[in-house]
Structure 1
Amino acid sequence: MTSDSEDPNDDVQYHLEVGEDDVADSVLLPGNPERVEKVVDYWDDHDIVAEHREYRTATGNHDGTPISVTSTGIGGPSAAIALEELARVGADSFIRVGSCGAIQEEASIGDLVITTGAVRQEGTSKEYVREDYPASADHRIVSALVAAAEELGYDYHLGVTCSTDSFYAGQSRPGFEDFEASGSDERIAALQEAGVLNFEMEAATILTLANLYGLRAGAVCTVYANRVTGEFRTEGERKAAKCASLAVSYLAEMDAAVEEADADGWHAGLSIDR
């Protein structure tokens, strides 16, 4: 039983200020609140349903499918709060939508990275479960994101992401006055050798919590920086949002196909028509 001191609001969530009728089953999770308006540009309609701190939430329809978006702010701690409170009002599917830094040469500026799993180089998920628990993306959401990227004609890369708590030291960048964290060069080299595609700051927390709670989650990010080539450009900013929005519509059709076939899960033998 939750005491009043731990759950101070009866009708709305404490941080997000959303209630049970405010969000759809599927929610996109950008970091920056300013990205919310860019996400909803691709929808049929939307309403801003809540704004509090770093959390801005809008709900509407994309291609006739109910959809919501909530900004999480930067990093695992605030992303965990968003997922916790969205789940408490009924959301069950989450797609992290953002930008990232690639650490493999082939992931060019403006490409998408669709995450299949994440290295938990952050601290938030470790407060929930042992460190060797995998941060894996839901296979149905990954499939929906791939289908959306293919339909849109976007270049994308499928693989493992590394989530960090620090944009600078944690991602092997120099800090103030060229401060360099101990083992920085070795850490990024080890990740590259392991085939890890990119750095970002929220996916591991979102994926871990979703798995723990029996929910579904995935992540798609646009590459802004490539650490191998030394390039940085905010190019293709809206690609991840457009891909994720379309993926939610695909996801709804996939769910309907699974239900119609009375299958235990999505598989290659099922088909959807668009």
Structure 2
Amino acid sequence: MTDDATAADELDSEDPNDETQYHLDVGPDDVAETVLLPGNPERLPKITGGWDASEVVAEHREYRTATGTYEGTPISVTSTGIGSPSAAIAVEELARVGADTFIRVGSCGAIREEASVGDLVITRGAVRQEGTSDEYVREDYPAVADHAVVAALVAAAERLGYDYHVGLTCSTDSFYAGQGRPGFEGFEARGSDELIEELRAANVLNFEMEASTILTLANLYGLRAGAVCTVYANRVTGEFRTEGERKAAKTASLATHLLAKMDDRVTESGAAEWHAGLGLD
């Protein structure tokens, strides 16, 4: 066997099937164009419970995928596990089977007083304080949400009557040191005591662990992405409650339906992309 053949075999060994994805175990007919991305696989039934109908189509490792409809609009959900490395795998493999829009759905910690526990944070852009996206592109490349996805999430939150905030998110690789929390036996990482104040001064709203990688990959690949998270903790006031868990899921599901309408408007008008003048209904 030649060296070239050996190299080819090594590449193929991680993806022995041309269609079914290695980590997610999904194929081209398994997912809709828009996929919601929670971290915890146990959140799937809480998300799909608000849909017209759904079916689990794949389960492998931390990745559980279900597909169905919401108000007649095709929609899927895939859990990513915790953190950017596994979220990047999800985006990569979902894109390979036809998904083109990704909405991170989860929980977060707010670092501004006005973002109360139970409120939503809709991400406009993200601080890339994680290492995964650095392996794709230079560190000064921006992690920016798609404007139509942001508009759809805002419209959905308004229609559902939820309190929400739109702004900048900081995505980290560490729940503890990376978000200014003490580690085991009170360990404090270098600069952790200044981290929250520095980000607050820069008008950052919240911490979470996946959004910046999802946004970065979507932009690199010419896809769409956004993020909506329910505030579980306010790091300034000291509040913590697992309240409003389904708010982000309901908002993202309705936003998917609105995005489908927005896409129809673009097609009908011949515009290059959606803008506010086209409306939502």
Identify the TM-score tier after normalising by the shorter chain: over 0.9
Instruction: Supply the distance in 2 between the matched residues of 1:252 and 1:63 (Cα, whole angstroms).
Output: 11
Length, aligned pairs only: 273
Tell me the CA shift for residue 267 of structure 1: 1.1
Instruction: Supply the distance in 1 between the matched residues of 2:96 and 2:226 (Cα, whole angstroms).
Output: 19
Residue 149 of structure 1: aligned partner: 157
In structure 1, runs of 5+ residues without a counterpart are none
Q: Secondary structure at the match of 1:197?
A: strand
Instruction: Supply the distance in 2 between the matched residues of 1:56 and 1:92 (Cα, whole angstroms).
Output: 18
Q: Secondary structure at the match of 1:60?
A: strand
Give the residue type in structure 2 aligned to 1:241.
A
Structure (1/2) with the larger helix percentage: 2
Give the residue type in structure 2 aligned to 1:17.
D
Tell me the CA shift for residue 7 of structure 1: 2.6
Task: Provide, for residues 9-60 of structure 1, a one-character-per-residue CA deviation record: whole Å limited to 9, x for no partner.
Answer: 2231000000000000000000000001100011000000000000000000
Tell me the CA shift for residue 73 of structure 1: 0.1
Instruction: Supply the distance in 1 between the matched residues of 2:46 and 2:280 (Cα, whole angstroms).
Output: 28
Residue 209 of structure 1: aligned partner: 217
Instruction: Supply the distance in 1 between the matched residues of 2:90 and 2:205 (Cα, whole angstroms).
Output: 25
Residue 35 of structure 2: aligned partner: 27
Residue 145 of structure 2: aligned partner: 137
Instruction: Supply the distance in 2 between the matched residues of 1:262 and 1:206 (Cα, whole angstroms).
Output: 29
Q: Secondary structure at the match of 2:278?
A: coil
Runs (4+) off by over 3 Å: none
Q: Secondary structure at the match of 2:276?
A: coil
Residue 98 of structure 2: aligned partner: 90
Task: Provide, for residues 116-175 of structure 1, a one-character-per-residue CA deviation record: whole Å limited to 9, x for no partner.
Answer: 000000000000000000000000000000000000000000000000000000000011
Residue 185 of structure 1: aligned partner: 193
Residue 229 of structure 1: aligned partner: 237
Q: Secondary structure at the match of 2:41?
A: coil
Aligned residue among 160, 163, 166 for 2:168: 160
- Residue 171, structure 1, aligned to residue 179, structure 2: yes
Tell me the CA shift for residue 266 of structure 1: 1.2
Residue 3 of structure 2: aligned partner: none
Task: Provide, for residues 221-270 of structure 1, a one-character-per-residue CA deviation record: whole Å limited to 9, x for no partner.
Answer: 00000000001000000000000000000000000001100001111211
Residue 69 of structure 2: aligned partner: 61
- Residue 122, structure 1, aligned to residue 130, structure 2: yes
Which structure: larger Rg?
2
TM-score for both structures, normalised by structure 1: 0.98
Preserved CA contact (<8 Å) 2:57 2:67: yes
Instruction: Supply the distance in 2 between the matched residues of 1:184 and 1:98 (Cα, whole angstroms).
Output: 24
Instruction: Supply the distance in 2 between the matched residues of 1:76 and 1:8 (Cα, whole angstroms).
Output: 25
Tell me the CA shift for residue 6 of structure 1: 4.4
Task: Provide, for residues 169-224 of structure 1, a one-character-per-residue CA deviation record: whole Å limited to 9, x for no partner.
Answer: 00000111111101112122110000100000000000000000000000000000
- Residue 272, structure 1, aligned to residue 273, structure 2: no
